Amino acid sequence: MADRLNGYRILILEAREEAQFSKLLAEQGAEVVQCPMFAIHDAADPAPVEAWIRRAIDKPFDDLVLMTGEGLRRIMKLAAARELDQALVASLAKSRKFTRGPKPGKALREVGLEAQQTTEKPTTEGVIEMLAKIDLKRHRLGLQLYPDKDHSALTGALAAQGADVDTVLPYVYDPKAADANIVAAIDAMAEGRIDSIALTNLGQVRRLIETAKAHGSEVRLRAGFERTLIASVGPAVSGELAAHGLRTDVSPAEDAYFMRPLISAMAAALAQKRPREAG
């Protein structure tokens, strides 16, 4: 049923993967309340990024691995500012291109390029598994990274395959810039204006708790959780909730820890909790 969440307000804490989740919820008729959890900025020092761009132009990489669409867009933004964008695109056209999930592939298409291969699983582990099947010995490999992640397992795996890895980190996260968004979301729950909060990674739980503590909103956060259906995508998130003395109301069936099963579980629980309002 395409309207099974009509009349319900669902709070999601936006991170890198939440745009698709928001779309799926809206398709079910939900009013999605989005709470950005961080702001994104260009790297504070553009010099290393520009140097990477110039190395890519001077000697095209054999292989290019893109971890995020945001990363490529930030690289292209700096390249354009230095009037190097056309030369960079021409150079990247000569490389085999691998992407972590569909978003970097979309960013490539925006500049007229295509990925040769995309991971089945949009995770670092998925990238490692994909590239393990590729001969990388003595290959120059450009690797675009993203912030707040230990990439040593990936770079180590690539080096072990004989690749000469050249990394670039073109942007940073600013979590403090989003504190006001999180406090507003806490207030909305405490005031009963949210029907369900959908949590898709344990970092969201930690961020909520940390921000509430920093702004004296712990009591309101717990009051909000008491009034709101808490939906968890799986055991890791539920475990983090439990570690803070918080419950999980809804979670997908075992081995179905994905967005669509989570939405189905939420819809069933909300239908039992109160009659659906008119759309």
User: What are 72-101's pLDDT values in tens digits?
Assistant: 999 999 999 999 999 999 999 999 999 998
Question: Which residue shows structure tokens 């959780």?
Answer: 225
DSSP-assigned letters across all residues of 109-158? HHTT---SEE-SS-SHHHHHHHHTTS--TT-EEEEE--SS---HHHHHHH
Residue 168 has a CB neighbour count (10 Å cut-off) of 20
User: Alpha-carbon distance 64 to 22, whole Å?
Assistant: 30
Calculate mean pLDDT across residues 32-51.
92
Gyration radius (Cα) of the chain, Å: 21
User: What are 100-126's pLDDT values in tens digits?
Assistant: 988 899 999 999 999 999 998 778 999
pTM of the model: 0.69
Question: Which residue shows structure tokens 């729950």?
Answer: 189
Fold of 44-169: Rossmann fold (3.40.50)
From residue 63, give the alpha-carbon distance in Å to each of 48, 98, 121, 210: 19, 8, 20, 40
Q: What's the pLDDT score for residue 15?
A: 63
Q: What's the pLDDT score for residue 118?
A: 94
User: Alpha-carbon distance 122 to 145, whole Å?
Assistant: 14
Q: Is the separation of the CB atoms in 75 and 168 below 8 Å?
A: yes
Q: What's the pLDDT score for residue 254?
A: 78
- Check if CATH label 3.30.70.2740 holds for domain 9-39+175-273: no
Q: Where are the alpha helices (DSSP H) in the chain?
A: 18-27, 47-58, 69-81, 85-92, 102-110, 124-131, 152-160, 179-190, 202-214, 218-227, 235-243, 259-273
The closest of 212, 197, 278 to 9, measured between CA atoms, is 197
From residue 262, give the alpha-carbon distance in Å to each of 28, 139, 157, 207, 270: 12, 42, 33, 21, 12
Helix, strand or coil, per DSSP, at residue 211: helix
Q: What's the pLDDT score for residue 277?
A: 46
Packed helices 218-227 and 202-214: angle between N→C axes, nearest 10 degrees: 130
User: Alpha-carbon distance 43 to 170, whole Å?
Assistant: 5
Q: What's the pLDDT score for residue 157?
A: 97
In this chain, the answer to whether the domains covering 9-39+175-273 and 44-169 adopt an identical fold is yes
The closest of 134, 138, 116, 140 to 58, measured between CA atoms, is 140
Q: What's the pLDDT score for residue 176?
A: 81
Calculate mean pLDDT across residues 219-224.
97
Domain boundaries, the chain: 9-39+175-273, 44-169
